[in-house]
Amino acid sequence: MEIPEKKRKIEEIKKSYPEKFVSEEKMFSHIGPGNRIFIGTACGEPLLEYRPASDDEIAQRIGKYVAELIQDGDTIQVGYGSLPNAILSNLEGKKHLGVHSELLGDGIADLMKRKVIDNTQKTINRGKTVVSFCMGKKETYDYIHDNPSIEFRTIDYTNNPLVIAQHHNMTAINTALEIVSVHKCTFSVVPDLRSLPRT
């Protein structure tokens, strides 16, 4: 049977991927969204490791201040970069944090090993660190290998506002690249409140 090109997706899977990413088989296929056919094959190249620049004194001071805003039991979403890493490194004294994020990096893995992140207070996906991808050192990849407390979900789940809103005490840790303070905000649609029906 000929498969139309627009319905085919071929991927190369590294043999060194943690078990969370790929099965033991060298070749696999499955039907994805929109009846797209995904075909994968294993290769022997090592995984790319992400090693962030070491935190400087200013990043650590900011990280200490921001870490004070995070409460025991909060569910966190974390971006990557020196500031989020500095904030994560200052969360060692917290308890029962949860994770619902795109990224699982070295800082989250370290806090999971120290039992700071245990996901026991999460409103949904209790007991699970829910993420879409992992980027870090080999030690982090080794830690997530076949780890039952980590659940990889698609971006349309981790970034869905309706899913995120179900978490009580959700806290996002990211770096703002730019803030414009002259009457500029980003909204997709702002309704005219005068046109809404009164109740």
Cα–Cα distance measured from residue 66 to residue 53, given in angstroms and rounded to the nearest whole number: 20
CB neighbours of residue 112 within 10 Å: 22
What amino acid positions are annotated as catalytic residues? 102
Packing angle of the helix pair 82-89, 106-113 (nearest 10 deg):
10
Cα–Cα distance measured from residue 36 to residue 9, given in angstroms and rounded to the nearest whole number: 7
Which residues make Cβ contacts (< 8 Å) with residue 132, sequence separation at least 6? 101, 102, 103, 152, 153, 154, 155, 157, 158, 159
Which residues make Cβ contacts (< 8 Å) with residue 65, sequence separation at least 6? none
